[in-house]
Structure 1
Amino acid sequence: MLREHEIEIRVRYPECDPMGFLHHSRVFIYFEMGRTELLRASGGNYRQWEERGLYVVVVHAECRYYQPARYDDLLRLRTIVKRVTAYKIEHEYLLYRDGDLLCRGNVTLAIVDRSGQVQPVPEEVRKEFEASESKVG
């Protein structure tokens, strides 16, 4: 499992407020794009989890905004897996434009089954994270 991954995102017109600034709520969609592409780059995808009856839900989300983005800006989003526990996956997000940090976010995910009952993070995910953590640390 990759610990971090980056994607480029171009701010589209319908994502902006009437003043041409990226609406604050859209960064959470960007965060979801980042973690989806991190998982895909690691060789997995959420569809595979759903076929196993496991669903990813957000249990905590926050964002600190430093500078605005505008229509047509080309942004770079870095998604980092910060921590994996038996029941949670924590990500950090850094959104840049031309090297300037625009915002920093954190999202904590949990895994539930079809009935909404909390499930352990899949063992292979925990093991891959622990293996990558030992390489880093």
Structure 2
Amino acid sequence: MAQIQNPAKNNPIQDTATDPSNLQIDMPVRVRYNECDPMNLVHHATYPVWMEMARTELLRSRGIHYKELEEQGIFIVVAKLNIRFSKPAFYDDELIVRCTMKPTAGIKIEHEYKILRDNKVIASAETVVACVNHEGKAQPVPEFLRQN
């Protein structure tokens, strides 16, 4: 079995703001016109895209780049997604997508999300992602991705 290395430790170009213990990120989003339906409301399919962007930025803030994970044969797939919509978002709204990683074990990583407008929650969500290899077989979460 090949040794899986922490991409952050092998990356010669590191952002000094990276923190491997970081468990939360707030990602600003301005609603774009193409993300809205004819009623000027953000289409429900847009929220998971924002959540994936926030998950990726959370990894990046920890010094881990998803592209480098894939190069090592580590793929992260969404196994479960649950979204609760409280209030609609509209074109040109300025939002924050808050992504928080929960303690990790086994083959899964859990995240919680809050979509905020003016510091008020307009949607909340959870995802469970799993680590798989090139063949799609479940793999343990590498130690450098774990947060206990």
CA contact (8 A) 1:84 1:90 kept: yes
Q: CA deviation at 1:57?
A: 0.3
Q: Percent identity?
A: 41
| Residue in 1 that maps onto 2:9 | none
SS of residue in 1 equivalent to 2:102:
strand
Unpaired runs of at least 5, structure 2:
1-19
Which of these residues, 23, 26, 46, is aligned with residue 46 of structure 2? 26
Q: Which amino acid aligns with 1:102?
A: I
| Residue in 1 that maps onto 2:139 | 119
Q: CA deviation at 1:83?
A: 2.7
Write the distance in 2 (CA, Å) between the matches of 1:83 and 1:94.
Answer: 18
| Residue in 1 that maps onto 2:125 | 105
Q: CA RMSD of the aligned region, Å? A: 0.7
| Residue in 1 that maps onto 2:103 | 83
Unpaired runs of at least 5, structure 1:
131-137
CA contact (8 A) 1:83 1:91 kept: no
Normalising by structure 1, we get a TM-score of 0.91
Q: Please identify which structure carries the higher strand content.
A: 1
Normalising by structure 2, we get a TM-score of 0.84
Q: Please identify which structure carries the higher helix content.
A: 1
SS of residue in 2 equivalent to 1:83:
coil
Q: CA deviation at 1:69?
A: 0.3
Is 1:9 the equivalent of 2:32? Answer: no
Runs of 4+ in 1 over 6 A off after TM superposition: none
